[in-house]
Chains A and B, each alone.
Chain A
Amino acid sequence: MAGPRVSPWSPIWNRFREDRFAVGGGIFILLLVVIALLAPVLPIRNPNHGYYELLPANGAPLSPGGTFLLGSDPNGRDLLSRIIWGARISLFIGFVANGLALVVGVMVGALAGYLRGWFETILMRVTDIMMAFPVLLFSIAIISIIERGSVLVIVAVIALFYWTAVARIVRGQVLSLKEREFVEAGRALGGGPQHNLLHHILPHLVPIIIVYGTIGIATSISTESILSFIGIGVQAPTADWGKMVADGQDFMFVAPWLVIFPGLMILLTVLAFNLIGDGLRDALDPRARALFRGVIGGVAAGSAGLAGQRLGLDSEAEPT
């Protein structure tokens, strides 16, 4: 077995790239991120400037394909620019809000699962209470009280509600990992809770964090779109997909593109993140012990052996 040294991630990547939907989703998000990042330097119009002078006398929005590639809204704003700039808001809120939710969720879940006792009781009851709130109603209340339209408040509100799901799953995992031999060994060798959590348990949580992190981005983006749609999210004139759908619905019969394009972007983005999440879950299947050894244990495995493993796992994880 004198094969070349293989990165521990490569078997996962190999499995992931066989899921065409997940790869498609990944390419879509990658493109979206690149375009969103480049928005300020791309040769596109100011998304918030209304070119009223280009509108006809009756103020009807311009249809796609003419002056504006994707048409204009009734304020004479370029829909293409607004969609690109809207991607920045959606992705920013998706990544940041969900990142916050992950950090809080993993911390709460891991501590609760590892330390148990009254600590766990309190943390998990708080989690239960948070999960019992009707998310949208509560978000509306909080945003109305604090500050309408502030991106940071929206991020905080989304994070506030979505850490709970992560916390529960992580706690469950920690509960079972904690009883495993390698953690016991760590304890027996005198490792404290901090050492055991960081060095023995946390690495095993990485796949879960990745999978739920990706799917959570989708949830965060759709939540943000809903908040903006009902008028308490991002405020005018900032371009935002949810707000664009809300603004466009009056004109649905006159200018259907006002609803279709931003609506499609929300749909595709959320779908793409979900597909990536699904693909990653399959690729990181917790049942694939060898795989985990390969990745988390840092054991370099021969490509031939892994290939065999992978075939076997494929039939298990992907019945297609």
Chain B
Amino acid sequence: MKRVSTAAMAVLGVGTILLSACGNSVSTAEGQPVSGGTLTVSFKDDLKTLDPAIGYDTDSWSIERSIYNGLLDYKGFTTQLQPDIAAAMPVISTDGKTYTFKIRSGVKFSNGRTVTADDFKYSWERMLDPKTAGPMTGGPFWGSVHGAQDFFNGTTTSIPGFKVIDASTLEIDLDSPNQSFLNIIAMPFGSVIPKEAVSAAGSDFAHKPVGTGPFTLDKWTPGQLIVLKKNPNYFGTKPYLDEVDAQIGLAPEVAYLRVQNNQLDIAQPDLTIPSAQYIQLSSNPTWKNRILKTPNVDIYYLAMNVNMKPFDNSLVRQAFNNVVNKANLVKILNGRAVINNGIQAPPMPGYVPNYNPLGLDANGQNIQKAKDLLTQAGYNASHPFPAQDLVYTKASADSDRQAASIQQDFLQAGVTINLKGLAFNAFLDVTGKPNTTALSFNAWIQDFPDPSDFIDPILTCAAANVTANGGNVSFFCDKDADKLADQARGDINSAERLKLYQQFQDIVVTKDFPWVPMFSTVETNVSAPRVHGYQLHPVWPFVTTSIWVTGGAPSLAPAPASASASASP
């Protein structure tokens, strides 16, 4: 359930399906990697947490990924899972319900203690414990682990489905098979942490994290600076960088100016370049070639609350599906997006290219059809369609512009839309509560590269049956579609499984219309010339281990151009 602040995107995305011409790394010769030095990045807001049981946003994950490891990780910059703290990929029983992991020997926490299977059982139970109040408690991802539901309800104090066989063997029992369970384990929620550090930190593990990762937290001055230092006890290949500094409180406009002045290495590594800065950088010959691009696995859509008037009428929802000029929204993002008429994002397995079952035009609309459907729904000159509030998040100026464009489209169909831009947290509150928001501009970005992630948390009956903080913001619940999702979740035949998800998509898009799917974005970012090896990861918001730097550290003081010139290689 990772919801995205609209148009302020996270660095997630797979492969080269969309942009065969653009790599996700700078292609120019970068020379031999050198060790040492400090990388300086920036974030607009302070991080919420560095507790892997709590963090569920791209800012937190950007830094968490440098501090922690789990059993599995993605291989390089691919979506292929490989063992990380696990010695090998797990042995999975033929019924798909039992996973047996062997733990690599000699993996140490940054405090020097060796990691055992008990640490995983502890970390995961803590992560799912209602007392920890993390987002995974009661959620769909870990709910099929044997005994998890009782643990969520507080009737048991331990999860029998996490079985420690011996110090280096861990067995996980599921009640029903789940084909995306390995991806779930690889999420930062599956990170291993030492019990003694949690007790030592008291209630503040979020600010005193201890893990097994390539870096450790050296300093966190709230609202100002986070300093990571190389972890001498790291079991994997040591990172090139000695230190990663995260400057807090830089607005994107300022941050990108600093990157261009060699005063900052990477601005907001987990978000795409804002539109204004993108136009500027992409029209500058020096910076154009340093822009990294990769498709995001995300979907931006209008959610219509099927339980609220006037959207309880499916004719209205169908009409709305014919209104939005999606090409304009893509243009507002400088073309860094593709029109999407479905519910799955382009690089996701099972994605259907050029999906357009409603027969919309090239812009993704059919205004006449929309008007006809509204008439059919009983709206006419004497009984006009009631003005609707479009709730969206003002996280970026691009979302303001897109909301204005949507407003204009609806005016053409005779529907008045009032724009209600909210701060991201307020937006999550009002859209995640039943019967609160009728129409909202939403986005969903993958947690892991499996189509179930675009269905289970946001389009199932279970996800609609919440009292707050829901991901199913249209509160869509179709029993037939739900059956398909249940069936697909455990289906071992992957081709058949993808077909089931495509059938699910057909029900949503051609029968129930809870969404107006609009577009999927392309992630872009840029780094100062002294940065090498920087790549956009298809799943993780930010990866520090491939990066090395040359030349002096950037100076954050307003240095004259000549003083900062030494930072260029």
CB distance from B44 to the nearest CB of A (A): 14
Q: B276, B325, B328: which contacts A250 (Cβ < 8 A)? A: B276
* Most chain A C-beta atoms within 10 Å of own C-beta, residue among B276, B280, B325: B276
- Nearest B residue to A49 by beta-carbon distance? B408
Q: A57, A236, A247, A250: which contacts B253 (Cβ < 8 A)? A: A250
Q: A75, A250, A253, A254: which contacts B404 (Cβ < 8 A)? A: A75
CB neighbours (8 Å) of A10 from chain B are none
CB neighbours (8 Å) of A52 from chain B are 325, 327-328, 331-332, 405
Contact, CB under 8 Å: A254 / B280: yes
Contact, CB under 8 Å: B279 / A254: yes
Binary per-residue interface labels of chain A (243-277) against chain B in the complex, 1 for a CB within 8 Å, 0 otherwise: 00001011111100000000000000000000000
Contact, CB under 8 Å: A57 / B404: no
CB neighbours (8 Å) of B403 from chain A are 236
Binary per-residue interface labels of chain B (375-408) against chain A in the complex, 1 for a CB within 8 Å, 0 otherwise: 0000000000000000000000100110111011
In the assembled complex, the Cα of A167 lies from the Cα of B82 at a distance in Å of 76
Contact, CB under 8 Å: A60 / B279: yes
CB distance from A265 to the nearest CB of B (A): 21
Q: Is B275 in contact with chain A by the CB < 8 A criterion?
A: yes
Contact, CB under 8 Å: B280 / A59: no
In the assembled complex, the Cα of A48 lies from the Cα of B411 at a distance in Å of 11
* Most chain B C-beta atoms within 10 Å of own C-beta, residue among A48, A58, A235, A252: A58
CB distance from A176 to the nearest CB of B (A): 52
In the assembled complex, the Cα of A55 lies from the Cα of B275 at a distance in Å of 14
CB neighbours (8 Å) of A50 from chain B are 328, 404-405, 408
CB neighbours (8 Å) of A49 from chain B are 408
CB neighbours (8 Å) of B274 from chain A are 250
Contact, CB under 8 Å: A58 / B332: no
CB distance from B70 to the nearest CB of A (A): 38
CB neighbours (8 Å) of B282 from chain A are 58
Contacting B at CB under 8 A, from A193-237, are 235-237
- Nearest A residue to B412 by beta-carbon distance? A49
Contact, CB under 8 Å: A251 / B276: yes
Contact, CB under 8 Å: A247 / B397: yes
Q: B325, B334, B419: which contacts A59 (Cβ < 8 A)? A: B334
CB neighbours (8 Å) of A57 from chain B are 331, 335
Q: Is B12 in contact with chain A by the CB < 8 A criterion?
A: no
In the assembled complex, the Cα of A75 lies from the Cα of B331 at a distance in Å of 9
CB neighbours (8 Å) of B325 from chain A are 52
Contact residues of B: prevailing secondary structure: helix
- Given A74-B401, A75-B401, A236-B400, the answer on whether A59 and B408 have CB atoms closer than 8 Å is no
Task: Tell me how many residues of A have a C-beta within 8 Å of chain B.
Answer: 21
CB distance from A121 to the nearest CB of B (A): 44
CB neighbours (8 Å) of A253 from chain B are 276, 280
CB neighbours (8 Å) of B404 from chain A are 50, 75, 236-237
CB neighbours (8 Å) of B226 from chain A are none
Contact, CB under 8 Å: B332 / A74: yes
In the assembled complex, the Cα of A74 lies from the Cα of B405 at a distance in Å of 11
Contacting A at CB under 8 A, from B405-419, are 405, 407-408, 419
* Most chain B C-beta atoms within 10 Å of own C-beta, residue among A52, A57, A249: A52
Q: Is B85 in contact with chain A by the CB < 8 A criterion?
A: no
Q: Is B333 in contact with chain A by the CB < 8 A criterion?
A: yes
Contact, CB under 8 Å: A235 / B419: yes
Contact, CB under 8 Å: B328 / A236: no
- Nearest A residue to B251 by beta-carbon distance? A250
Contacting B at CB under 8 A, from A27-61, are 48-50, 52, 55, 57-60
CB neighbours (8 Å) of A235 from chain B are 419
Contact, CB under 8 Å: B408 / A48: yes
Contacting A at CB under 8 A, from B252-293, are 253, 274-280, 282-283
CB distance from A301 to the nearest CB of B (A): 59
* Most chain B C-beta atoms within 10 Å of own C-beta, residue among A48, A52, A59, A251: A59
Contact, CB under 8 Å: B407 / A237: yes
Contact, CB under 8 Å: A58 / B335: yes
* Most chain B C-beta atoms within 10 Å of own C-beta, residue among A75, A249, A252: A75
In the assembled complex, the Cα of A74 lies from the Cα of B407 at a distance in Å of 15
In the assembled complex, the Cα of A74 lies from the Cα of B403 at a distance in Å of 13
- Nearest A residue to B278 by beta-carbon distance? A58
Q: A48, A55, A250, A252: which contacts B331 (Cβ < 8 A)? A: A55
Contact, CB under 8 Å: A250 / B397: yes
- Given A49-B408, A50-B405, A254-B276, the answer on whether A59 and B400 have CB atoms closer than 8 Å is no
- Given A58-B335, A250-B274, the answer on whether A236 and B419 have CB atoms closer than 8 Å is yes
- Nearest A residue to B328 by beta-carbon distance? A52
- Nearest B residue to A57 by beta-carbon distance? B335
CB neighbours (8 Å) of A75 from chain B are 332, 401, 404-405
- Nearest B residue to A56 by beta-carbon distance? B331
- Given A52-B325, A236-B400, A250-B276, the answer on whether A59 and B332 have CB atoms closer than 8 Å is yes
CB neighbours (8 Å) of B328 from chain A are 50, 52
In the assembled complex, the Cα of A55 lies from the Cα of B328 at a distance in Å of 10
Contact, CB under 8 Å: B279 / A58: yes
In the assembled complex, the Cα of A17 lies from the Cα of B83 at a distance in Å of 86
CB neighbours (8 Å) of B407 from chain A are 236-237
- Nearest A residue to B333 by beta-carbon distance? A59
CB neighbours (8 Å) of A236 from chain B are 400, 403-404, 407, 419
Binary per-residue interface labels of chain A (54-85) against chain B in the complex, 1 for a CB within 8 Å, 0 otherwise: 01011110000000000000110000000000
CB distance from B339 to the nearest CB of A (A): 14
CB distance from B217 to the nearest CB of A (A): 33
CB distance from B168 to the nearest CB of A (A): 54
In the assembled complex, the Cα of A123 lies from the Cα of B152 at a distance in Å of 63
Contact surface of A with B, Cβ cutoff 8 Å: 48-50, 52, 55, 57-60, 74-75, 235-237, 247, 249-254
Contact surface of B with A, Cβ cutoff 8 Å: 253, 274-280, 282-283, 325, 327-328, 331-335, 397, 400-401, 403-405, 407-408, 419
8 other contacts beyond A59-B333, A236-B404, A252-B276, with CB at 8 A cut-off? A49-B408, A52-B327, A58-B331, A58-B335, A59-B332, A247-B400, A250-B275, A250-B276
- Show 18 A/B contacts (Cβ-Cβ < 8 Å), sorted by A: A50-B328, A52-B331, A52-B405, A55-B331, A58-B278, A59-B275, A59-B331, A60-B279, A60-B283, A74-B275, A74-B401, A75-B332, A235-B419, A236-B407, A237-B408, A247-B400, A252-B276, A253-B280
